[in-house]
Amino acid sequence: MAMPRPTVAQFAYGSCTVVLSAFALLLLSQASSGVGIALVVVAALTLGLLVAMTVPQPKSRPAPVRRPVQQEPVRATLPSPATVPAAREAVRQSVR
């Protein structure tokens, strides 16, 4: 079974969440050490992944069911030879 591809909305929400939450967490925590910044980055990435995964997926439409078409017999109505006026055209033959 193939993995579903992420939608544009998932990319957008996840990316915005990572950037904004990292910025907010760095400002609020006032982290200046490498370990503190790494923790903030990991928290922001986790939060972005969580937001991207909770974006509702578009509903897939069920495939239309193809039903066999009931074929009716062909009824051709041909005119009676008695009612059709006879076409009296001369047949020309080319002589070579």
Q: Whole-model pTM?
A: 0.55
Does 77 reside within a domain?
no
Higher pLDDT, 67 or 26: 26
Give the count of domains, the chain.
Answer: 1
pLDDT digit string, tens, across residues 28-86: 998 889 999 999 999 999 999 999 888 777 677 777 777 777 777 777 776 666 665 55
Q: What is the pLDDT of residue 43?
A: 94
Those residues whose C-beta lies under 8 Å from the C-beta of residue 85, and which sit 6 or more positions away, are none
Does 85 reside within a domain?
no
The SS3 assignment for 75 reads coil
* Domain encompassing residue 22: 8-54
Distance CA 23, CA 7 (A): 25
Does 33 reside within a domain?
yes
Does 90 reside within a domain?
no
